[in-house]
Amino acid sequence: MRAVKSRGSDGTLLVKLGAPGDVVRTTPLLRALEGTVVWVTRAECAPLLPRRPGLTVLTPEQAPRLSGRRFDLALCLDDEPEAAAIADLVRAGRRVGALSPAGRGDYTASARGWFDMGLLSRLGRRRADALKRRNVLSWQEHLFHMAGTSFRGEEYWIRRPPPRRRGGAPRVGLETRVGPRWPLKAWGRFGELERALAARGVRTARFGWKRDLAAHAAAVSACDVVVCGDTLTMHLALALRKRVIALFLCTPPQEIEDYGRLAKIVSPALARDLYTRRRDPRAARAIPLAPVLAETLTALAQLAPR
């Protein structure tokens, strides 16, 4: 692996505030950055970041203490004005990503591959969506390119939950919850899957709301296989080296790095429903039960014997 070397006295500034799933999928970059790294993220996400030597985690409220410091690389990965303003607090040998004031076209040329497809796109929403549909690169490939290196399969890196003692049959975790932004990520056949697995003697557990993200990561860690949409739970399961079956109903599967342990099942109506933010019970059931059940049983069969 070719690391991104830091020549400045303060190393790398990384501004990635949220959402939590996006923060988790950015952690592979920590394996390629040498030296000190300051990561600014929201307080809820901070407990997920690893205890990496040289890593300092700050919240946006703590960011003013960075004012005037010099970094070799300042990488701003969010298109929010708040994130760009934080990156603007520092001096940088190289600045990559969103710029302040945040508005259309306010990002560096080195970040166009990603930001041209986003809400901040200098090309306008229609062109951005067209580019997004044609994109064949994962987020990690875009991310490492922005950082000045190449993605070579670097794994997620999060703070692992304490191991739990448990025995018995393997457990399949089902993520039926979604946030308000993308209601169509909620597959409409989880009940059918539960019944089909129960008929085969497979234990299942639906994830519920926890007091914080670290507690949720512990719940994911207690499962052997996870079935979910394109959600935070998917990224946590990948980070924890679980077998994952991910259902794509309204978001592009090509952005997700599978690491050889994630099976992607794509809605036959994805072209129609891509980036749809409406609730649509019929569209939520577009993925049939059979392929999801088959992939789940295959994942269970691939588990190492206990």
Residues 6+ apart with CB under 8 A from 191: none
Report pLDDT for 3. 52
Q: By the 8 A CB rule, do 20 and 4 touch?
A: no
CA–CA distance, 214 with 212 (Å, rounded to integer)? 6
Answer yes or no: is 155 within a domain: no
Strand-pair partners of 40: 15, 58
Same domain, 111 and 176: no
Answer yes or no: is 4 within a domain: no
Strand-pair partners of 266: 248
Label the pairing between strands 171-174 and 203-206. parallel
Answer yes or no: is 45 within a domain: yes
The CATH number of residue 294's host domain is: 3.40.50.2000
Which tens digits make up the pLDDT trace of 41-72?
A: 999 999 999 999 999 999 999 999 999 999 99
The residue that leads in pLDDT, 144 or 164, is: 144
Same domain, 196 and 127: no
Same domain, 204 and 139: no
Which tens digits make up the pLDDT trace of 226-251?
A: 999 999 999 999 999 999 999 999 99
Q: Which of helix, strand or coil describes residue 138?
A: coil
pLDDT over 80 (residue 138): yes
Same domain, 143 and 175: no
Q: By the 8 A CB rule, do 241 and 254 touch?
A: no
Least confident of 35-39, 50-54, 125-129, 185-189: 125-129
Q: Is 292 left (phi over 0), alpha (psi -120 to 50) or beta?
A: alpha
Report pLDDT for 304. 79
Choosing from 147, 180, 195, the residue where a domain stops is 147
Q: Which of 184, 189, 186, 225 is nearest to 205 (CA)?
A: 225
236: number of Cβ within 10 Å:
29
104: number of Cβ within 10 Å:
12
The CATH number of residue 27's host domain is: 3.40.50
User: What does the block give as tokens for 113?
Assistant: 């591959």
Answer yes or no: is 117 within a domain: yes
Domain membership of residue 74 as a residue range: 12-147
Same domain, 17 and 132: yes
Domain count, the chain: 2
CA–CA distance, 253 with 136 (Å, rounded to integer)? 9
**Percent of all residues in the chain with a pLDDT value above 70, rounded to a whole number:** 94
Report pLDDT for 4. 54
Which tens digits make up the pLDDT trace of 276-305?
A: 999 999 999 999 999 999 999 999 999 977
pLDDT over 60 (residue 141): yes
Which tens digits make up the pLDDT trace of 196-213?
A: 999 999 999 999 988 899
Same domain, 128 and 188: no
Same domain, 17 and 142: yes
Calculate the average pLDDT of the chain.
Answer: 93
Report pLDDT for 104. 55
Give the H/E segment covering residue 126. Answer: helix 125-134
Residues 6+ apart with CB under 8 A from 102: 79, 80, 81, 83, 84, 120
Same domain, 143 and 269: no
Report residue 9: phi and psi, to 5°: -65, -25
Answer yes or no: is 6 within a domain: no
Same domain, 57 and 176: no
Same domain, 200 and 268: yes
Please state the pTM of the whole predicted model: 0.93
Answer yes or no: is 77 within a domain: yes
Distances (CA, A) of 242 to 92, 138, 262, 268, 286: 38, 19, 8, 26, 25
Answer yes or no: is 200 within a domain: yes
Answer yes or no: is 245 within a domain: yes
